[in-house]
Structure 1
Amino acid sequence: MDNFLHSLSATLHVTAPVFIIVFLGIIFRRINWLDEHFVKVASALVFRVTLPTLVFLNISKTDLRESLDPGVIIYACTATLISFFFLIWMARKIIQDKTDHGVFIQGSFRGNQGVIGMALVANQFGAPGMPLASILLGSLIIIYNILSVIALSMSLPGRADAGWKPVLKEILKNPLILSVVAAIPVSLLKIELPAVVLKTGEYFSGVTLPLALLCIGASLSLKALRASSLASWSATLMKLLILPVIMTLGAIALGWTGQTLGILFLYFASPTAAGSFVMVKAMGGNDKLAANIVALTTAASTLTITLGVFLLHWQGLV
């Protein structure tokens, strides 16, 4: 009983603050404390400035030679790639409309690690967990963008030979990827940044997660939840249950426990990224289905992630 209560307390410490802020965002939007313009501007600020600053500081202040395990990065990227091919097969089996295959596939594997995942890692492991989380985030952003374009191009009429230049440009100018690339030499060469730069960066990075979580809540569409279809429910099941369970069990089988296993689980179990909706809309796909998947996975992840963290604590794996 004591172990159960301890595990429950540890779980709520990790997940409750994150999802409370998301739900506050929903409430603030409903009572008009936040509006669409604020969400748009604040989300852009997080993506372009504060989150890249957070990632840069986490990596640059860490000795990567000692703390980075390349095997973790390889495993996460390989697991994502395998899940992508599995989802192609599943889409052909369960999604009748071929033009929705790519939306289903992307919604099932593309997680919101940049906000939800990072916030959960920060709550669970604090500063020691952030360097690995940041490097992993940069790696997954690249593979997510590439696989998303492939998935959507395969299923959308007239898109088979399009989309590569925009996605390559997006990867090369992505602020999160650029922050990882800039931080690695600073860490490896042990460059000491001026105190005023560090302090300014800490101010920026400090507002990242609460602001981003409020924006997620404020942009969550209750109408989209009510309009959910079989395809969106299937993608939600894949994103929050089937794939995280398989990937986490694989990590356990490879011998990872503690902080590494916890970060992998929190990343694998994160809800679908809002960026998936943006890409679907830009490529002329079923943006309503994409919005439904984002809304459903974000809402349902409050339960699935909490349950997953609880089980890992209860079994002494984290």
Structure 2
Amino acid sequence: MSNFIFSLNATVPVFFVIFMGWVFRRTGIIDERFSEVNDKLSFKILFPVLLFRDISAADLRQDFDIKFAAFCFISTAACFCVIWILAEIFIKDKTIIGSFVQGSFRGSAAILGVAFVENMYGNAGMVPLMIVAAVPLYNIFSVIILTVRGKESKKLSFKKLMLSIAKNPMIIGIVSGLPFAVLRIDFPDMVDKCINNLSSLAMPLALLAVGASFQGKDAVKKIRPSIIASLIKLVIQPAIILPIAIMMGFKNQEIIALLIMTGAPTTVSSFIMAKNMNNDAELASSIVVITTLFSSVTITAIIFIFKTFGYV
């Protein structure tokens, strides 16, 4: 029961802000212009700063486990590749593939990971290592799929594709943070507060944008791919990756970190990226809403099962 309450505490506030964004848009408190400016601000400034903060703060020297880091890296890459291949085979409407693939594999690992593990074990454990191994891949793969499957993709040569990836604000934020994580460079308090102030704006503004852009009629039209992507994100990925992790000897904090990596709700930044990179924003928004709504049930159920069998 305590795990269920904790899951609700993690997901209900997120869903509430999304709902308020929808209410504000319908009542005219925010308009299309606000959403456009907010999207650009989040994509170009706030989320890159948030990623920079999370990556730079990770302590790679403490409890470094190359086996665990490699597992996070390989499983993330494998999930992305398999989902993309299957999407290309089975999805007839190729315009939704970018948002579908991103929504299916990219979770809120950095946001929920530390909170869950600290709540259960008292410290972050392997989560910073998981964040460094998986979160950069989330963003790199997202940029690749959204660029390749975006509306402007036919105009892109390989050189332009690589340049587009290198210039992506999310990638710049990650790459900029890695040297600080590796060298353990601490910022002066004043700089640290400035970074935290900017990064703290990213999630609430992005969640408001998701709610403001959510169109019930459009969501219903795309309910099938939304549900399939949500099932992949919340159920299928954990059902495949976690048993493999257990067979490889991972347990306790490692399993919870992997659960958050594979089964956390789709991150709200996926909507921001899909919209700004000319992909299906409505589908991206629907996946964020559905996975956020149901993740408290799926995550709690998985934790309960694993606790019952003594794996966490």
Q: Same fold (TM over 0.5)?
A: yes
1:300 counterpart (285, 290, 299): 290
The answer to whether the Cα contact below 8 Å between 1:248 and 1:265 also exists between their aligned partners in 2 is yes
CA–CA distance in structure 2, aligned partners of residues 224 and 62 of structure 1: 39
Q: How does 1:140-289 map to 2 (within 5 A)?
A: 140-149=138-147, 152=149, 159=154, 162-228=156-222, 230-269=224-263, 270-271=265-266, 273-274=270-271, 275-276=273-274, 278-279=276-277, 281=278
Aligned length: 298
Task: Tell me what 1:284 maps to.
Answer: none
Task: Tell me what 2:25 maps to.
Answer: 29
User: Deviation string for 1:71-98 (max 9, x for gaps)?
Assistant: 4554344334433454456447644x3x
User: Deviation string for 1:32-60 (max 9, x for gaps)?
Assistant: 22222212222322222233223323333
Structure 1, unmatched stretches of 5+, are: 282-286
CA–CA distance in structure 2, aligned partners of residues 189 and 89 of structure 1: 38
User: Deviation string for 1:212-241 (max 9, x for gaps)?
Assistant: 222222222222112226555444443443
> Once the two structures are aligned, what percentage of the paired residues are identical?
27
The secondary structure found in structure 1 opposite 2:266 is: coil
CA–CA distance in structure 2, aligned partners of residues 210 and 258 of structure 1: 31
The answer to whether the Cα contact below 8 Å between 2:21 and 2:208 also exists between their aligned partners in 1 is yes
The answer to whether the Cα contact below 8 Å between 1:50 and 1:208 also exists between their aligned partners in 2 is yes
State whether structure 2 residue 61 is matched by structure 1 residue 65: yes
Q: Please, what TM-score do these two structures have when normalized by structure 1?
A: 0.76
Rate the CA distance shift 1:73–1:38 in 2: closer, same or farther, 3 A.
farther
* 249-258 or 28-37, larger mean C-alpha shift: 249-258
Task: Tell me what 2:135 maps to.
Answer: 137
State whether structure 2 residue 69 is matched by structure 1 residue 108: no
Q: Please, what TM-score do these two structures have when normalized by structure 2?
A: 0.77
Structure 2, unmatched stretches of 5+, are: none
User: Deviation string for 1:169-227 (max 9, x for gaps)?
Assistant: 23212233222222222233333322221121122122222222222222222221122
The answer to whether the Cα contact below 8 Å between 2:214 and 2:282 also exists between their aligned partners in 1 is no
The secondary structure found in structure 2 opposite 1:45 is: helix
Rate the CA distance shift 1:21–1:238 in 2: closer, same or farther, 3 A.
same
Rate the CA distance shift 1:24–1:163 in 2: closer, same or farther, 3 A.
farther
The answer to whether the Cα contact below 8 Å between 2:266 and 2:288 also exists between their aligned partners in 1 is yes
Offset of residue 310 of structure 1: 0.7
CA–CA distance in structure 1, aligned partners of residues 185 and 11 of structure 2: 35
CA–CA distance in structure 2, aligned partners of residues 139 and 298 of structure 1: 19
CA–CA distance in structure 2, aligned partners of residues 173 and 92 of structure 1: 26
The answer to whether the Cα contact below 8 Å between 1:106 and 1:276 also exists between their aligned partners in 2 is yes
The answer to whether the Cα contact below 8 Å between 1:104 and 1:231 also exists between their aligned partners in 2 is no
CA–CA distance in structure 2, aligned partners of residues 143 and 101 of structure 1: 18
CA–CA distance in structure 2, aligned partners of residues 108 and 219 of structure 1: 20
